Structure 1
Amino acid sequence: MLALRFSLDVKTVPKFLLGSAAMTGLLAGHAYAANARHVRARAPQQVVNKAATATAPLSPSGASGKASRPPLHGAPAAAKPESINVLGRRMVATSASAGTKTDTPLLETTQSVSVVTRAFMTERLVQSIGEALRYAPGVNPDTYGADSRFDWIRIRGFDVTTYGMYLDGMRLTAGTTGPVQEQYGLDRVEVLNGPSSVLYGQAAPGGLVNMVSKKPSSTPYHELQFVAGSWARYQGQFDMTGSIPGTGGSVDGRVVGLVRDADTQVHYVKDNRIYVAPSFTWHITPKDDFTFLSSYLHDHTSGDQFYPAYGTALYNPNGKLSTSSFLGSPDLDKWDRNQYAVGFLYEHRFNSNWRFQQSFRYLGLDLNWSQAYSTSLSADMIHINRLAFREVASGQLYTSDSRLVGHIHTRPVDQTVLLGFDYSRYDLAQDYGYTTGTQLNIFNPVYTIQPAIKMTTHIVQQSEQKGLYFQDQIKITDRILVNLGGRYDWTNTATLTTTSSSAVTSGQNNGVFTYRGGIGYLFPFGLMAYASYARSFQPVTGVNFYGQAFKPTYGKQVEVGAKYQPKDKSSFLTASLFDLTQTNVSQTDPSNALNTIQTGEVRVKGFETSANVSLGSGFDLVFAYTYLDPVIRKSTIGQNGKRPTLIPRNTVSLWGDYQVQPGLVPALTGLGVGMGMRYIGNIEGDNNDTFATPAVTLFDAAVHYDFGRSNRWRIGLNINNLFDKTYVASCSGTTTCYYGQRRRLLGSVRASW
């Protein structure tokens, strides 16, 4: 019999939490990174360096930390839009496609699922997916602080950046050159907490993020907005949709675009972007809809800074490093990404109960990356040693998902059955090289030209996944809910690595079956209690010292919880307990220091609660609290019982938004204000728990005013980190620490009609 046992030490809970819970009326009664961070831009094809494994710490595969650091050694658902209610100036979601790939209400999904609506993102004027998820339960969206290249997201302690990002139900990240999604092109963001391989195949055990694109609408809407703010940030964006003239209403179109020219809090680092996403929906017949989606994105920025712990999280007798310190080389550092995608969503409705859906996307990406980055701090604690690195890569990602959905009514039993097949393939071509860079005085930098970098390694790789899955959602007497699902995946990877002295071919093939089951009871007054069990798998590329291919890691989770939504759907409350374990984690072989064995294990137990509440009279509230108890269960290098790095034990967020109601104060009608609080607990700086980054409490604020005919115009001001708190977001060793974002002000003017 499976049992969940939790020991919640009240001393680890922030003192203000009970007060926050009382305010909202709530009562609810891993992976971790290696000491040296690896390059996400090469994670799938990285060849194991047998000599480098001698000191490899226990590190779960696919969650090896932030993808931005070159190696220190040699070569290494086409778902319909959610049903929503407009509540004051916010929206509360009632359904999401991520949890079941069907239109099942959130209240009837036997797993933790949360949704960040477009309205909530607009109120906070978010600039990235990570910012959108700052108030979501179970999510740490700012793992590495301010980084303009990627959204570094962890769910329930596990990294999902490589194997957990999806767009319209199809895999977005291939774990290599790192495609991204512009948040302004999204209708909403869905978060599925816990193992999700049964519907999506290879995935991180912590869960996944499904981003849902803006789709064309027959209702005309036009929006123009200009944003300006801190660090010389200037941004223009537009969103236009409606029926296309001359089509008789059979074709709707939409185009979304954004242009940004911006500096960042770090000297010499830009955050420039061009984004455009044209789309159209063709209503072919009353039973057939075809939506074409496309996008182009160009980024010009630089790699993240690797600050030493001494001078940031730890004391340095020479002083404290500024958050604006640039430790790279102006002549070298750049990250230029060109990304382009085309695809479609198709649905055929056989009748009111059965339909066929198909999705497809082709995504291409070109990357030109070069950077001088810190590898160690000298004994004088003033100078850093650096490596100069360069990479040129291109990739093509093909994804498709075909599924048959049917509703079967045999009172008192109703069933929603799902049968699907999905496919993904990623083709990669990559050249890189590195050399020893020049030293740098971190307190008084004088930038010098870096040595020439010779491209020494060429990699060609193809990764493929095919998955057949089924799901049966059973509802008995409108009260008992049963969810059963299973999936079989075939995955293979072939890699050719060529250097000046060798050409090495490696490959890997896996066949994996995963499953999940859930049961719930729906009470008449809107409460649903549930229990579920789910499994996941995540590939591990490369071979060990003896040339044997690594096995996938496996995730398994037990979860019990409850959800509540009143009949008027004005609010949504959740609470859950979970016990999540990842096995087959790579670690050093105690009998051969040059070998890696997969006997490690990481366990995360935790508790989550959230509330999206409309309190009436124009006031809305969003609350989330997450408690995680992560532990290294099995280690060959003395880390048993240690708390993994990059995982805060407690996180709390609270956002309140008030809109002055018409007639209350006529002169203030149209005025809205918002205020948010985010608490992030302390984070271990390494897997030996030798030091930790302090906990931090941050505040955000927003004010906006709508005016003109039909409130056509809006002016607003949004402030993140209101009191300009300087803090270290995390460390993954003594040479790699990351500052969080300082205070950022954004003023905006918007016209909509």
Structure 2
Amino acid sequence: MTIRISASLTALALAAAPLSGFAVAQEPGSISLDTITVDGESATGPVRGYVAQRSTTGSKTGTPLAETAQSVSVITREQMSQQNAQSLNEALRYTPGVTPESRGAGASRFDLFKIRGFDAVNYLNGLRMQKMNWVSPQVDPYLLERVEVLRGPSSVLYGQAPTGGMVNQISKLPTMARFGEVGVQFGNNAQRQASFDFGGPVDPQGRFLYRLTGIGRMENGQIADTEAERFAIAPAFTFKPSDDTSLTLLGLYQRDPKANAYIGVPSAGSVSYNPNGRLSRRTNVSEPNLESFDRTQSSAGYLFSHRFSDAVTLRMNGQWFRSNIDYFSVFGSSLAANGRTLSRSVSLSHDELDALAFDNQLEWNFSTGPLSHTLLTGFDAQSSDGYFVSGTGAAPAIDLFAPVYGRPITLPATRRTDVTTRQYGLYAQDEIRFGNFIATFAGRSDWAQNKTTVAGARSATDDHALTGRAALLYRFDNGIAPYVSFAQSFTPLAGTDATGRAFDPERGLQYEAGVKYQPVGINALLSAAVFDLTRENLLTTDLVNRGFSVQVGEARSRGVELEAKASLDFGLNVAASYTYLDTKYTRDNSGLEGLVPTGVPRHMASLWLYYDLPASLVPGLSLGAGVRYVGSTFNTNNTIEVPSVTLVDAALRFDFGKLMPQLNGMALQVNVKNLFDKDYVGTCYTSTTCAYGQGRVITAGLNYRW
């Protein structure tokens, strides 16, 4: 369904949700629509264009992004669709501060990325997706409405979380607009895909809404003799007995019988010289007949809200997530002096994890004299119970340049590890407005327990942590909003030191200053930020008691981030970013002090433009182009430098309905990622684990929407 809104309303980037009371003018070749009311964009709902106005991730209260005193980026559904993002890594490619695809083309089975130089975590609808061993939950981007990136510490609202930041994935939810969409897509690497998305009201009053989204995809992997398969379905149902009350039930079932390969190649022959020649990015150092990764994920959740009055709102969210994985891989361990004989190891694991997460919030809006308050209080909890049976052993060596597969492999001995985690948190946040000033103060208390049992030997930690956040922003009438902020984080650590004392949680501290600019009358949001972020209590080698660790490690990240998002009236969408990072270990006993963490570039930049050509020129034609630059990176001990790379993407879309009204809703879309087929290495972890980046990917899809 196509909705045309006047330029003045477009500038507000309002959600196109059909209600009642706003007439839409009909143009030649368009279809008649019911009247709608244009209301303010919700903090989780659809967005027209690339510029979201609100987000729940930064404050949990739907504070406008232009008034949020922390760096938050939103990748909208429209941007993901136009770029044809088929993984979370791909969706994050044009976002500042984020280093996606840290495992190169082999990252398809996991969402591996860094924010501000450090590993980050995933959330789904504001609730953490918990991990364990090889369990790392992944949701296909087609099932998402938007992706929100919070850069910097987030513990004050979300509990234990890495210092660098978090990514919050928002599911597609039922809407008041009745619609349907089906699509097919084909591409190189033998890709075949089919998708569907249906939804709308069940009854005339719109009290019952539904949505059903699904996707199936099969393709060959870039590494020789590997494949990927995915089948996912996500039902959602909303009950709205009144305008003040809403309950949404969410489901997810995702089956990944195959997921390419999670292996690398030696640095000699990929990023450095090898007398035997250069290794192909299709080089498979594993055993094609044995390499496997079989994952099944199931989830059920709810989103409940009730507005008692204009001043008081209750929100209660919950989620159950289960993951079951079978993993088997053969990978390189050391390269012989001849540069071609690679000794190998074998690893296998069976993992099962059940996780629960809840978040209950009460929001109060009130005034004390000239001060207006938005007070948020909350209690959240998360728990997980899981186990994995795993083992690692030796495997026969292989000739990299003349591989022979199928030699007998002795399966390694395995042992079972049971893992139980519990966390409970109480938090409060007050957003205080005085004229154009907005001050935010937040505090949190957390209790976290972790129990691990390995072959009958049990260890446990019991932590308590206090975290806080404070920020001040001033919004000028012309849309400029400078701010400063301070935030803390904590992450529990398992294990004990040489004396048997349990490790304290890792702590994080960030100072940030920035400015946001939302031009009046233009649908755009510009932002700039500088930050100084420190991680403390990192584990490092105990120099007195070898084999043990002590908590004297420290790492620091300083940098600058620039971002511009715009959806302009004449049909141009823009996403641009630049990142400068100065990240290093500032204290360490194992030789890392002064070194840059693995896979962290100093410079990153990107620009994506998508333009709907005027109907007078070529009716229905849209063109897109993007360029991505990632600076050079290093391996763990900084002995291997991975060269920088510049990649180009392109897109073309043709809306048949603009040319032939009887074909309204049908569109052809072609995307090319890495247009010039750049052969490059994404990351090196060790001298035998370097991951090639994704080569050129061409897809062509036909969609019909009504």
Fold-level match, TM-score > 0.5?
yes
Q: Distance in 1 between matches of 2:78 and 2:408?
A: 47
Give the letter aligned to residue 624 of structure 2: G
- The equivalent of 1:251 in structure 2 is 208
User: Which of these residues, 518, 523, 536, is aligned with residue 570 of structure 1?
Assistant: 523
- The equivalent of 1:480 in structure 2 is 437
CA apart distance, 1:84: 6.8
| Aligned-partner SS, 2:224 | coil
Match status 1:93 vs 2:93: no
Question: What are the equivalent positions in structure 2 for 1:619-698 lying under 5 Å apart?
Answer: 619-662=572-615, 664-665=616-617, 668-687=618-637, 689-698=638-647
Match status 1:281 vs 2:238: yes
Q: Is the 1:683–1:730 contact (alpha carbons within 8 Å) kept by the matching residues of 2?
A: yes
Question: What are the equivalent positions in structure 2 for 1:111-190 lying under 5 Å apart?
Answer: 111-146=70-105, 147-160=107-120, 164-176=121-133, 177-190=135-148
Match status 1:705 vs 2:654: yes
| Aligned-partner SS, 1:151 | coil
Q: Distance in 2 between matches of 1:295 and 1:615?
A: 35
Q: Distance in 1 between matches of 2:374 and 2:344?
A: 57
CA apart distance, 1:631: 2.0
| Aligned-partner SS, 1:336 | strand
Q: Is the 2:334–2:342 contact (alpha carbons within 8 Å) kept by the matching residues of 1?
A: yes
| Aligned-partner SS, 1:123 | helix
CA apart distance, 1:269: 1.5
- The equivalent of 2:30 in structure 1 is none
- The equivalent of 2:478 in structure 1 is 525
**In the superposition, relative to structure 1, how do residues 450 and 486 fare at CA in structure 2: closer, same or farther (>3 Å)?**
farther
- The equivalent of 2:698 in structure 1 is 745
CA apart distance, 1:302: 4.1
Q: Is the 1:390–1:455 contact (alpha carbons within 8 Å) kept by the matching residues of 2?
A: no
Q: Deviations over 1:162-192 (max 9, x none)?
A: xx21000000133441111111110000000
**In the superposition, relative to structure 1, how do residues 411 and 699 fare at CA in structure 2: closer, same or farther (>3 Å)?**
farther
Give the letter aligned to residue 672 of structure 1: S
Q: Deviations over 1:470-499 (max 9, x none)?
A: 10001101x01101101111000111111x
CA apart distance, 1:568: 2.8
- The equivalent of 2:29 in structure 1 is none
Q: Is the 1:94–1:569 contact (alpha carbons within 8 Å) kept by the matching residues of 2?
A: no
Q: Distance in 2 between matches of 1:436 and 1:297?
A: 33
User: Which of these residues, 287, 292, 298, is aligned with residue 340 of structure 1?
Assistant: 298
Q: Distance in 2 between matches of 1:109 and 1:175?
A: 33
Give the letter aligned to residue 670 of structure 1: G
Q: Is the 1:338–1:367 contact (alpha carbons within 8 Å) kept by the matching residues of 2?
A: yes
CA apart distance, 1:620: 2.2
CA apart distance, 1:248: 4.5
Match status 1:321 vs 2:279: yes
Q: Distance in 2 between matches of 1:82 and 1:211?
A: 10
- The equivalent of 2:15 in structure 1 is none
CA apart distance, 1:569: 4.8
Question: What are the equivalent positions in structure 2 for 1:263-412 lying under 5 Å apart?
Answer: 263-299=220-256, 300-410=258-368, 412=370
Question: What are the equivalent positions in structure 2 for 1:69-108 lying under 5 Å apart?
Answer: 80-82=42-44, 86=48, 90-108=49-67
- The equivalent of 1:492 in structure 2 is 449
Q: Distance in 1 between matches of 2:424 and 2:507?
A: 18
Q: Is the 1:84–1:94 contact (alpha carbons within 8 Å) kept by the matching residues of 2?
A: no
**In the superposition, relative to structure 1, how do residues 216 and 614 fare at CA in structure 2: closer, same or farther (>3 Å)?**
closer
Larger RCO: Structure 1 or Structure 2 (Cα < 8 Å, ≥ 6 residues apart)?
A: 1
| Aligned-partner SS, 1:717 | strand
Query: 403-412 or 462-471: which moved more?
Result: 403-412
Q: Deviations over 1:550-591 (max 9, x none)?
A: 221111000000000023351000000000010111111122
Q: Is the 1:724–1:742 contact (alpha carbons within 8 Å) kept by the matching residues of 2?
A: yes
User: Which of these residues, 681, 684, 689, is aligned with residue 728 of structure 1?
Assistant: 681
Q: Where in structure 2 are there 5+ consecutive unaligned residues?
A: 1-40
CA apart distance, 1:454: 4.7
| Aligned-partner SS, 1:120 | helix
Q: Distance in 2 between matches of 1:595 and 1:686?
A: 20
Q: Is the 1:333–1:372 contact (alpha carbons within 8 Å) kept by the matching residues of 2?
A: yes
Match status 1:193 vs 2:166: no
CA apart distance, 1:455: 4.6
Q: Distance in 2 between matches of 1:167 and 1:155?
A: 17
| Aligned-partner SS, 2:454 | strand
- The equivalent of 1:20 in structure 2 is none
Question: What are the equivalent positions in structure 2 for 1:552-571 lying under 5 Å apart?
Answer: 552-571=505-524
Q: What is the aligned-residue identity percentage?
A: 36
Q: Distance in 1 between matches of 2:409 and 2:45?
A: 57
Q: Deviations over 1:53-107 (max 9, x none)?
A: xxxxxxxxxxxxxxxxxxxxxxxxxx95447763xxx331011110000110001
Query: 253-262 or 632-641: which moved more?
Result: 632-641
| Aligned-partner SS, 1:439 | strand
User: Which of these residues, 187, 190, 200, is aligned with residue 232 of structure 1?
Assistant: 190
Question: What are the equivalent positions in structure 2 for 1:13-32 lying under 5 Å apart?
Answer: none
Q: Is the 2:480–2:518 contact (alpha carbons within 8 Å) kept by the matching residues of 1?
A: yes
User: Which of these residues, 416, 428, 435, is aligned with residue 393 of structure 2?
Assistant: 435
Q: Is the 1:82–1:94 contact (alpha carbons within 8 Å) kept by the matching residues of 2?
A: no
CA apart distance, 1:637: 3.5
Q: Is the 1:173–1:180 contact (alpha carbons within 8 Å) kept by the matching residues of 2?
A: no
CA apart distance, 1:361: 0.8
Give the letter aligned to residue 555 of structure 2: V
Q: Where in structure 1 are there 5+ consecutive unaligned residues?
A: 1-78
CA apart distance, 1:287: 2.3
Give the letter aligned to residue 652 of structure 2: V
**In the superposition, relative to structure 1, how do residues 391 and 546 fare at CA in structure 2: closer, same or farther (>3 Å)?**
same
**In the superposition, relative to structure 1, how do residues 347 and 335 fare at CA in structure 2: closer, same or farther (>3 Å)?**
same
Q: Distance in 2 between matches of 1:276 and 1:85?
A: 23
| Aligned-partner SS, 2:108 | coil
Q: TM-score normalized by structure 1?
A: 0.86
Q: Is the 2:104–2:691 contact (alpha carbons within 8 Å) kept by the matching residues of 1?
A: yes
| Aligned-partner SS, 2:526 | strand
Q: Distance in 2 between matches of 1:711 and 1:699?
A: 31
Give the letter aligned to residue 106 of structure 1: L
Q: Distance in 2 between matches of 1:166 and 1:489?
A: 18
- The equivalent of 1:423 in structure 2 is 381
CA apart distance, 1:642: 2.4
Give the letter aligned to residue 345 of structure 2: L
Q: Deviations over 1:233-288 (max 9, x none)?
A: 0010110011125x753210000000111111111221100000011000133321
**In the superposition, relative to structure 1, how do residues 450 and 559 fare at CA in structure 2: closer, same or farther (>3 Å)?**
farther
Q: Deviations over 1:604-638 (max 9, x none)?
A: 11000010123442122211000001122112244
Q: Is the 2:221–2:227 contact (alpha carbons within 8 Å) kept by the matching residues of 1?
A: yes
Q: Is the 2:223–2:260 contact (alpha carbons within 8 Å) kept by the matching residues of 1?
A: no
Query: 264-273 or 230-239: which moved more?
Result: 264-273
Q: Distance in 1 between matches of 2:692 and 2:265?
A: 8
CA apart distance, 1:459: 1.3
Superposed CA RMSD in Å reads: 1.5
CA apart distance, 1:436: 1.3
Query: 593-602 or 723-732: which moved more?
Result: 593-602
Number of residue pairs the alignment of both structures matches: 659
Runs (4+) of structure 1 exceeding 6 A deviation are: none
